[in-house]
């Protein structure tokens, strides 16, 4: 199993990053920090999906003069392009909300906000 | 050689992620996060995914970081 | 013989339509009264028009729509249903007249008469339900429609009684629903039919527990002890409502439901193989005696009536649980007998309260001189409860005793006799008080209730006697009860 | 017009409508509302045509870009997708309802954006239920989630923003779980088309397949607010503007459940795992959800908060029905997805109209409102009776079916839980009805308020009428959905 | 305590994740389902039948164009959402969100000069990325982002009024909606001409049409992306 994981070091890396991100989301009190954590989680999933498309010795899937097989799988890349855009959209909205919450409450610490409710 | 490079990149990513968590200064955390994105971008370039790498550089390291900076500028700089 | 006919649905539909008009035009006193009475009359006419056919053995059926294959709304007027329908339609008309007089000084009359009419329309739906689902539907609707009537006063006490009422009856409804679901799973149908739809193949234990669930569900409204708690509390409602709850709609709906379960879901033959039915009989006997005992100690007139109701309803249950033709005759006939006697009582209580403001029994000294006609009606009803011959109550007790002997359970005859004694013990003192005790510092002038209160009372009392003496006249309720029994037992 | 073109139009029309709303409407709220209404009328027409078509010929597909699956994206319209009809109907009514409501409750400059987001939200839901591709499902899920978060916050109240943020964090995590699962499924099968995945999953390794299933279920159950993943719901649904609450409670949480049905379709067909463990978990969570939702609702004074908790209860019913995995349970659950949408929309829009007129939201403050707003409160009462599951309303048949499904699946105890859960629910609805009709007003001026304006009253009355009609004509949706459920369960192989 | 619990929970979570991952087809394998099922067709026939040498572009704009149609809708949604949250605040609270705060010390002349100098080059780069998306890495969104970044830079350094000249108020709403609208337009054209939404001409003789349609979409995405990113930035008050 260890050998298997060593070979799949990309997968292991994304799981570790996923957990770090989740830890940040759960334990951090500051809303912005929470959201950076969420972004780490997001990128870890992206890294995982990109890793699915990798093939040993593969090149970028751009045909044309000089390109030679094998090429990496283009599908995960296409998915993650979309994924990245979705992530930045979510981030923009979340940060806007954080700005408004700060304007209203004067703090962006989750526990202080909870007390205000 | 290539595997070593992979390993270094992943270690860097994890280090950056941990640093983001440890940094109390939000501005610093955002900058480190942008570095994290750039490392990721390098990794993807190396994995034969230049389109994604470019997007990550522009969006992840660029726009996202700018948005974080703006938000930090309009709220607080330090985490309690 | 089954005939497709629109009348079984027409009866509830017409009164539902009139109810809608009561709600819409009710702010005008004339139209409110017009539509209330109109609904009652129209329904009575429709129901009565089916009577000759029913006596000939015709069953009118109307399938309205299927929700899903096998589960739907259907209406079916057989002898048992007709009996219940006729009793409730007749009483509704009388009660409406009484309510118009009684409610005059009250608030929120539109709501009152609207829901009042709705209740009795729903009762007809219960009577004519073709399947268990339709029965459940109207049973639950009845619960909801009576709620605004119970809390009519809007006092904290009334709200509390309303909550209690809902808690009991809705839990009961939930049991009925559960029972229906399991019945459907076991039998594949919910249609109420003569030999019953369940069979022994489902297993004795399952059938026993299903029976317990269904009886518990309907037993809440039928106020079998220990499920009777809501009934005395609900006395805070205005008197016509109490009359409706206790004599016509609600409690009888429960009792009727139990009859349907015994005769049309399980069937007599199946139940004879199950031990649980005799437990039901014992429970009914216990309720008869315990209800009477508690009634003796009630000073509030309406509360005494309430416990009397608890006791009387179990006559119906006991009669049905005996599983003999005579017992069934008694059970069905008692639906009418108890209803007319009890409604007389309630009308009397209401008249006294409206005319003199008195609600406690010890205040009634000498009332017989002030309100002679009202108290005469009371006397008739009291004699009926005691079971004096030539009154309706005697017929029930006579047939119930015959049924007990027929089934070889003679000890129920002793229960009957004991119950008569107990009834005497709490009805006769009132008569003594009314006629033989001089009121303290009050005149003995005649001061009767106003006509809209008095005439319905007298009419009901008359009916009590009529039911007691006309058992052999064809076309009257008792013959219908006998027709129902013949149908149930396939004779 | 071919069916596949109509199917594409179902998504494209509201999408184009949404992006054009700022152009057409500008900052004029009434103009934006008119435009949104127009868009929804057209969309509803398309949806109706599609539902009729699927009833006639059965499931059909549209291949986008002309690429046959699995190479391109497939839109698949089956009986479950018929929920587009209810989405369009509620969307249309919510838009009409918003005409007066938005003008009254929202900051004026945000009104145009409000309609844009409303349309985007509907687009997201429509796409979500008709797509046949897992990644496309994710994209539409994001459209509907993002617009949902913003709609919760749009009133600009402090509480609204905090509720929206809570919703956003949980929603974003759940979306990630779904994306993760999509990655796993892709790694196992190399495909993103649902039918193709289902076909190719059979030989796959069990552990990743199970992980993907767990992640998908968890992610979707966050969206569906199943206990204990419900914490975001009460605040978000109670604080959002009422038409939005109606959409969120009626539809958006349901997309989580419809997504779950898609997951079932994939996994039942693949036969790679024994799903009975998952089903057991779902049934139990459903039962707990019913009880907990009802329990918390009893203590709510705020009428919309109460409705929000009642949504959690009802989600419990549906999840329980799905988890029972018996014919009746599944049919009941699916139809309850439709019916609960109707009922909850009636209730939320009704509550919105009352709040609009009186300005009060607490049951105590609202005493006596039944006398001044008879039609609105009557509609709410119909909704209340319906949600409790009284016959002959829409709620009854579903509960009947789910309970029957419990008995059929050999777990009558869940039937008992369900029936008594309904009683629990009754307790708090009776409180509401009491305060409307049978209690003396705390604020005498409440007797003077006017009945809701027509643009609000008409949608409410239509919905209330549908609650009754769907109860009486219950066999139509039931028999409509039956072949789909039979197909789904038939693939289990007994 | 909370941290320790969280870490314990995460370790428990990581175990099944890692186990499941170890059962996946190995990383980099050329025989995995992902590499043998659909992607071979894309890699082999993509450039001919889909119109771009960059197969990723083929996938996002042609094979799975509908996803990208959804994606641009997501960004548009995000703009609408940001507007909904930040526009002018509570009712009656008409205080503009961006107060004309005292200008912080303006950037030095050197910085301003460099930005002015950089402008044309960055624009050119962005355009290059956009229109070369089908033969090289990059494409509409990446180019649009670069351009958006330029707008942000100009806003920060030269002030918003200068930056806004790049997006005249009259057409700004159209620009922001450009990406989804381009998709819908091309899609409906495909529906009308070839019977399927987002269908591209398949005929070999029409290869140039195919490529130019791709480019139209890329430009639409680029313009829309840039407009939306800068609008979000402005709305979040990044110019202060």
Question: Positive or negative CA dihedral for B40, B44, B46, B50?
Answer: negative
Say what the pLDDT of residue B2 is: 67
CB-based contact A101 D158, cutoff 8 Å: yes
pLDDT tens profile D89-108 = 999 999 999 998 888 888 88
Q: What is the mean pLDDT of residues D237-265?
A: 91
Number of inter-chain CB pairs under 8 A, C vs D? 71
Could you give the CA distance from residue A74 to residue A78 in angstroms, rounded to a whole number?
Answer: 6
The pLDDT of residue C71 is above 60 = yes
- Report residue E170 CA to chain centroid gap: 23
Q: Do C and B share at least 3 CB pairs under 8 Å?
A: no
**With an 8 Å Cβ cutoff, are A52 and D187 in contact?**
yes
Q: Could you say which DSSP state residue E206 is in? A: G
Higher pLDDT, C418 or C105: C418
Hey, which residues 111-150 in chain C have their CB within 8 Å of chain D? 111, 133, 136-137, 140-141, 144, 147-148
Give, for C3, the enclosing helix (H) or strand (E).
strand C2-4
Nearest-by-CA chain A residue for B7: A9
pLDDT tens-place string over residues C352-400: 888 887 778 777 777 777 787 888 888 888 888 888 888 888 888 888 8
State the smallest CA–CA distance between residue B31 and chain A in angstroms: 11
Extract the tokens encoding D464: 């209330």
What share of chain D has pLDDT > 70, as a percent? 99
Gap between the Cα atoms of D445 and D85, Å rounded:
40
Give tens-digit pLDDT for D172-208: 999 999 999 999 999 999 999 999 999 888 888 888 9
Instruction: Tell me the pTM.
Output: 0.90
**Hey, of B49, B50, B53, B54, which one would you mutate to test binding to chain E, going by the most E CBs within 10 A of its CB?**
B54
- State residue A32's pLDDT score: 93
pLDDT at E95: 44
Predicted local distance difference test score (pLDDT) of residue C27: 77
Q: How many helices (H) and strands (E) does chain E have?
A: 11, 0
Q: Do chains B and A touch (3 or more CB pairs under 8 A)?
A: yes
Per-residue pLDDT at D252: 92
For residue C422, the enclosing domain spans 275-491
Helices (H) and strands (E) in chain C, counts: 21, 3
In chain D, the largest separation of any two C-alpha atoms, in whole Å, equals: 70
Cis bond leading into D12, ω under 30°? Answer: no
- On the 0-12 / 13-18 / 19+ scale of CB atoms within 10 A, A105 is middle
Radius of gyration over every alpha carbon of chain B, rounded to an integer in angstroms: 14
Chain E, 157 to 216: residues with Cβ < 8 Å from chain D are 173-174, 176-177, 180-181, 184, 187-188, 190-191, 194-200, 202
Quick check: is E209 in a domain? yes
Would you call E80 an interface residue with chain A, using a CB distance cutoff of 8 Å? Answer: no
> Is residue C449 situated within a structural domain?
yes
- ipTM of the complex in this document: 0.87
Q: Give E145's contacts in chain B (Cβ within 8 Å).
A: 55, 58-59, 62-63
Residue B23 lies in a domain: yes
Q: Is residue E64 part of a domain?
A: no
Mutation choice for B interface testing from E30, E145, E156 by most B CBs within 10 A: E145
- The structural domains of chain A, with segments of one domain joined by +, span 2-57+69-116
Q: Looking at residue C151, what DSSP letter applies?
A: T
Residues D210-231 as b/e (b if ≥16 CB within 10 A, e otherwise) read bbbbbbbbbbbbbbbbbbebbe
The answer to whether the Cβ–Cβ distance between C178 and D397 falls below 8 Å is no
Number of domains in chain B: 1
The DSSP output letter for C197 is: S
Arithmetic mean of pLDDT, C311-317: 87
CA distance D149 to D235: 12
Q: How confident is the model at residue D494 (pLDDT cuts 50, 70, 90)?
A: very low
Q: Which of D20-24, D212-216, D422-426, E212-216 has the lowest mean pLDDT?
A: D422-426
Question: Do B50 and A60 make contact, defined as CB atoms within 8 angstroms?
Answer: yes
Q: Is the pLDDT of residue E90 over 60?
A: no
Chain E residues whose C-beta is within 8 A of a chain B C-beta are 54, 56-57, 129, 137-139, 141-142, 145-146, 148-149, 152, 229, 232-233, 236-238, 240
Residues 18-57 of A with CB under 8 A from D: 18, 22, 25, 31, 34-35, 38, 41-42, 45, 48-49, 52
Which pLDDT score, from 0 to 100, does residue D1 have?
59
Burial of D23 (0-12, 13-18, 19+ CB in 10 A): middle
- D71 — contact with chain C (CB < 8 Å)? no
List the single best residue of D326, D364, D438 to mutate versus C (max C Cβ within 10 A): D438
| CATH architecture assigned to A2-57+69-116 | Orthogonal Bundle (1.10)
CA distance, residue A117 to nearest chain B CA (Å): 19
Q: What is the pLDDT of residues D395-410, one digit of tens each?
A: 888 888 888 888 888 8
CB D395 within 8 A of CB D388: yes
pLDDT of C65 above 70: yes
Q: SS3 for E142?
A: helix
Domain that holds residue E229: 71-90+108-240
Higher pLDDT, D352 or C489: D352
* Total domains in the fold of chain E: 1
- Beta-strand relationship, C2-4 and C71-77: unpaired
Q: Is B51 on the interface with E (CB under 8 A)?
A: yes
Instruction: Answer whether D297's CB lies under 8 Å from D309's CB.
Output: yes
pLDDT at B79: 81
Cβ pair C346, C246 in contact under 8 A? yes
- Please check whether residue D200 touches E, CB under 8 A: yes
Which residues 6-25 on chain A approach chain E with CB closer than 8 angstroms?
7-12, 15-16, 18-19, 22-23
Residue C234: inside a domain, yes or no?
Answer: no
Residue with tokens 């509480």: D159
Q: Under an 8 A CB cutoff, do E176 and D22 touch?
A: yes
Judging contacts by C-beta atoms under 8 Å, the chain B residues touching residue A10 are 6, 10
Query: Domain for residue C361, yes or no?
Result: yes
Best residue in D326, D329, D389, D434 to probe C by mutation, most C CBs within 10 Å?
Answer: D434
Q: How far apart are CA E95 and CA A103, in angstroms?
A: 12
pLDDT averaged over chain E?
A: 83
Residue E240 pLDDT:
56
Most confident of C249-253, C336-340, C409-413, D151-155: D151-155
The C-alpha angle C3, C9, C15, rounded to 5 degrees, equals 145
**Helix ranges restricted to H, chain A:** 2-7, 9-27, 31-53, 74-105, 110-116
The larger pLDDT score, comparing residue E235 to residue D44, is at D44
Instruction: Return phi, psi of residue C275, to 5°.
Output: -70, -30
Closest Cα to residue E137, out of B58, B42, B50?
B50
Sign of the C-alpha dihedral, residues C235, C240, C246, C249? negative
Residue appearing with tokens 């402090």: D158
Please report all neighbours of A, defined by 3+ CB atom pairs within 8 A: B, D, E
Q: Looking at the complex, does the CB of residue E85 fall below 8 Å from at least one CB of chain D?
A: yes
Q: Which chains touch E (3 or more CB pairs under 8 A)?
A: A, B, D
Q: Helices marked H in E51-139 — which ranges?
A: 55-58, 65-86, 109-131
Residue B69, both tokens: 């900076």
With CB atoms and an 8 Å threshold, state whether D183 touches A76. Answer: yes
CB D95, CB D25: distance < 8 Å: no
Give me the pLDDT at residue E93, please: 43
The nearest CA of chain A is from the CA of D225 a distance in Å of 19
Q: Is B74–E139 a contact, with Cβ atoms under 8 angstroms apart?
A: no
Q: Which two tokens stand for residue E64?
A: 């799975």
The distance in angstroms from the start CA to the end CA of chain C is 14
End-to-end CA distance of chain D, in Å?
40
Q: What HEC string does chain D produce?
A: CCHHHHHHHHHHHHHHHHHHHHHHHCCCHHHHHHHHHHHHHHHHHHHHHHHHHHHHHCCEEEEHHHCCCCCCCEEEECHHHHHHHHHHHHHHHHHHHHHHHHHHHCCHHHHHHHHHHHHHHHHHHHHHHHECEHHHHHHHHHHHHHHHHHHHHCCCCHHHHHHHHHHHHHHHHHHHHHHHHHHHHHHHHCCCEHHHHHHHCCCCCHHHHHHHHHHHHHHHHHHHCCCCCCCCHHHHHHHCCHHHHHHHHHHHHHHHHHHHHHHHHHHHHHCCCCCHHHHHHHHHHHHHHHHHHHHHHHCCCEHHHHHHHHHHHHHHHHHHHHHHCCHHHHHHHHHHHHHHHHHHHHHHHHHHHHHHHHCCCECCCCCCHHHHCHHHHHHHHHHHHHHHCCCCCHHHHHHHHHHHHHHHCCCHHHHHHHHHHHHHHHHHHHHHHHHHHHCCCCCHHHHHCCCCCHHHHHHHHHHHHHHHHHHHCCHHHHHHHHHHHHHHHHCCCC
Q: How many residues does chain A have?
A: 117
In a domain, B79, yes or no: no
Instruction: List the one residue out of E55, E48, E44 whose CA is nearest residue E210.
Output: E48
CB pairs below 8 Å between B and E: how many? 46
């Amino acid at each position: 199993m260890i050998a298997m994981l060593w070979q799949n070091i990309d997968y292991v890396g994304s799981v570790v990053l996923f957990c770090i991100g989740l830890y940040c989301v759960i334990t951090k009190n500051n809303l912005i920090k929470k959201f950076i954590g969420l972004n780490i989680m997001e990128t870890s999933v992206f890294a995982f999906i990109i890793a699915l498309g990798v093939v040993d010795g593969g090149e970028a899937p751009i045909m044309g003069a000089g390109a030679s097989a094998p090429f990496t799988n283009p599908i995960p890349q296409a998915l993650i392009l979309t994924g990245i855009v979705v992530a930045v959209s979510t981030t923009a909205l979340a940060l806007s909300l954080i700005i408004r919450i700060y304007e209203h409450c004067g703090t962006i610490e989750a526990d202080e906000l909870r007390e205000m409710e | 050689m290539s595997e070593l490079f992979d390993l270094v990149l992943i270690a860097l990513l994890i280090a950056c992620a941990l640093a983001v968590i440890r940094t109390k200064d939000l501005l610093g955390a955002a900058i480190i996060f942008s570095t994290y994105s750039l490392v990721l971008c390098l990794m993807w370039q190396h994995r034969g995914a230049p389109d994604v790498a470019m997007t990550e550089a522009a969006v992840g390291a660029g726009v996202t970081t700018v948005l974080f900076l703006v938000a930090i500028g309009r709220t607080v700089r330090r985490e309690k | 013989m089954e005939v497709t006919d629109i009348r079984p649905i027409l009866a509830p539909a017409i009164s539902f339509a009139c109810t809608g008009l009561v709600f819409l035009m009710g702010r005008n006193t004339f139209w409110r009264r017009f539509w209330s009475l109109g609904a009652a009359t129209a329904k009575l006419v429709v129901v009565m028009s089916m009577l000759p056919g029913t006596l000939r053995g015709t069953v009118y059926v109307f399938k309205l729509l299927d929700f899903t294959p096998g589960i739907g709304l259907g209406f079916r007027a057989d002898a048992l249903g007709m009996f219940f329908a006729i009793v409730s339609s007749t009483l509704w008309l009388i009660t409406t007249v009484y309510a118009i007089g009684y409610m005059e000084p009250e608030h929120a009359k539109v709501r009152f008469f609207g829901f009042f009419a709705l209740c009795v329309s729903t009762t007809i739906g219960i009577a004519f339900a073709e399947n268990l689902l339709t029965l459940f539907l109207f049973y639950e609707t009845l619960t909801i429609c009576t709620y605004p009537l119970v809390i009519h006063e809007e006092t904290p006490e009334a709200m509390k009684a309303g909550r209690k009422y809902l808690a009991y009856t809705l839990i009961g409804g939930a049991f009925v629903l559960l029972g229906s679901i399991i019945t459907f799973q076991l039998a594949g149908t919910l249609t109420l039919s003569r030999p019953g739809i369940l069979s022994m193949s489902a297993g004795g234990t399952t059938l026993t527990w299903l029976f317990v669930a269904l009886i518990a569900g309907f037993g809440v409204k039928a106020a079998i002890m220990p499920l009777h708690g809501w009934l005395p509390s609900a006395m805070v409602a205005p008197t016509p409502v109490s009359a409706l709850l206790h004599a016509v709609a609600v409690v009888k709906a429960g009792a009727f439901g139990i009859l349907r379960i015994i005769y049309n879901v399980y069937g007599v033959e199946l139940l004879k193989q199950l031990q649980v039915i005799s437990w039901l009989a014992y429970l009914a006997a216990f309720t008869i005696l315990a209800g009477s005992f508690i009634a003796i100690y009630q000073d509030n007139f309406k509360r005494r009536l309430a416990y009397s109701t608890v006791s009387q309803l179990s006559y119906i249950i006991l009669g049905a649980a005996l599983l003999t033709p005579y017992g069934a005759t008694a059970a069905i006939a008692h639906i009418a007998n108890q209803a007319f006697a009890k409604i007389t009582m309630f009308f009397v209580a209401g008249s006294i309260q409206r005319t003199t403001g008195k609600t406690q029994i010890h205040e009634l000294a000498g009332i017989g001189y002030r309100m002679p006609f009202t108290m005469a009606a009371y006397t008739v009803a009291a004699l009926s409860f005691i079971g004096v011959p030539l009154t309706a109550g005697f017929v029930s007790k006579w047939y119930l005793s015959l049924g007990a002997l027929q089934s070889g359970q003679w000890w129920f005859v002793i229960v009957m006799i004991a119950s008569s004694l107990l009834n005497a013990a709490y009805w006769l003192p009132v008569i003594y008080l009314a006629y033989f005790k001089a009121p303290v510092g009050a005149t003995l002038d005649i001061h009767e209730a106003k006509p809209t209160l008095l005439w319905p009372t007298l009419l009901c009392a008359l009916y009590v006697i009529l039911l007691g003496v006309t058992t052999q006249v064809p076309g009257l309720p008792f013959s219908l009860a006998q027709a129902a029994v013949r149908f149930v037992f396939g004779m | 017009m071919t069916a596949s073109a109509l199917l594409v139009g179902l998504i494209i029309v509201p999408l184009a409508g949404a992006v054009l709303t700022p152009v057409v409407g500008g900052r004029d709220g009434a103009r934006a509302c008119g435009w949104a209404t127009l868009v929804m009328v057209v969309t509803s027409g398309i949806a109706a045509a599609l539902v009729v078509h699927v009833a006639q010929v059965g499931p059909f597909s549209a291949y986008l870009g002309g690429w046959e699956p699995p190479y391109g994206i497939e839109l698949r319209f089956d009986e479950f997708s018929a929920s587009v009809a209810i989405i369009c109907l509620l969307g249309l009514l919510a838009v009409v309802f918003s005409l007066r409501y938005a003008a009254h409750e929202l900051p004026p400059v945000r009104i145009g954006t409000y309609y844009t987001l409303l349309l985007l939200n509907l687009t997201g839901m429509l796409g979500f239920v008709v797509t046949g591709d897992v990644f496309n499902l994710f994209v539409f899920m994001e459209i509907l989630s993002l617009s949902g978060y913003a709609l919760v916050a749009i009133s600009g109240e402090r509480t609204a923003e905090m509720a929206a943020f809570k919703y956003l964090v949980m929603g974003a995590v759940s979306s990630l779980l779904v994306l993760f699962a999509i990655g796993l499924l892709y790694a196992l099968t190399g495909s993103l088309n649902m039918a193709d995945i289902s076909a190719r999953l059979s030989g796959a390794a069990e552990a990743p397949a199970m992980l993907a299933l767990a992640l998908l279920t968890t992610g979707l159950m966050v969206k569906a607010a199943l206990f204990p993943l419900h914490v975001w719901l009460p605040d978000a649904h109670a604080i959002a503007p009422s038409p939005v609450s109606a959409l969120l409670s009626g539809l958006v949480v349901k997309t989580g459940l419809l997504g779950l049905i898609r997951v079932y379709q994939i996994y039942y067909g693949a036969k790679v795992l024994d799903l009975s463990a998952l089903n057991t978990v779902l049934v139990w969570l459903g039962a707990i959800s019913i009880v907990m939702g009802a329990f918390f609702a009893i203590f709510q004074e705020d009428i919309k908060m109460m409705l929000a908790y009642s949504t959690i209860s009802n989600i419990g019913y549906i999840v329980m029905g799905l988890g029972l995995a018996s014919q009746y349970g599944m049919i009941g659950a699916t139809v309850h997805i439709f019916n609960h949408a109707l009922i909850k929309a009636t209730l939320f829009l009704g509550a919105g109209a009352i709040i609009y007129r009186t300005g009060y939201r607490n049951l105590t403050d609202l005493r006596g409102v039944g006398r001044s707003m008879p039609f609105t409160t009557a509609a709410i009462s119909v909704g209340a009776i319906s949600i409790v599951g009284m016959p002959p309303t829409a709620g009854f048949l579903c509960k009947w079916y789910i309970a029957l499904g419990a008995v059929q699946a050999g777990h009558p105890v869940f039937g008992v839980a369900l029936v008594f859960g309904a009683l629990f629910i009754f307790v708090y609805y009776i409180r509401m009805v009491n305060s409307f009709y049978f209690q003396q007003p705390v604020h005498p001026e409440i007797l003077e308020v006017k009945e809701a304006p027509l643009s609000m009253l008409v949608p409410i009355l239509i919905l209330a009428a549908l609650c009754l009609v769907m109860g009486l004509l219950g066999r139509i949706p039931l028999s409509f959905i039956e072949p789909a459920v039979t197909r789904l369960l038939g693939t289990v192989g007994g | 305590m909370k941290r320790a619990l969280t870490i314990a929970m995460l370790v428990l979570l990581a175990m099944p994740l890692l186990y499941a991952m170890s059962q996946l087809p190995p990383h980099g394998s050329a025989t995995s389902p992902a590499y043998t099922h659909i992607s071979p067709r894309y890699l082999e026939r993509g450039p001919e039948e889909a119109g771009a040498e960059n197969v990723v572009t083929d996938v996002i704009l042609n094979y799975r164009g509908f996803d990208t149609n959804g994606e641009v809708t997501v960004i548009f949604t995000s703009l609408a959402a940001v507007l909904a949250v930040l526009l002018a605040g509570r009712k009656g609270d008409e205080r503009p969100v961006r107060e004309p705060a005292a200008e912080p010390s303006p950037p030095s002349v050197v910085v301003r000069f460099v930005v002015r100098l950089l402008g044309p080059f960055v624009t050119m780069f962005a355009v290059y990325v956009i229109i070369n998306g089908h033969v090289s890495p990059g494409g509409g969104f990446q180019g649009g982002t670069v351009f958006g970044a330029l707008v942000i830079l100009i806003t920060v350094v030269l002030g918003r009024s200068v930056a806004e000249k790049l997006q005249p108020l009259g057409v700004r709403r159209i620009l922001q909606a450009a990406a989804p609208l381009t998709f819908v337009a091309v899609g409906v054209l495909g529906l009308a001409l070839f019977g399927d939404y987002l269908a591209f001409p398949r005929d070999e003789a029409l290869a140039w049409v195919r490529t130019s349609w791709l480019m139209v979409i890329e430009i639409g995405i680029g313009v829309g992306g840039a407009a939306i990113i800068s609008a979000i930035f402005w709305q979040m008050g990044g110019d202060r």
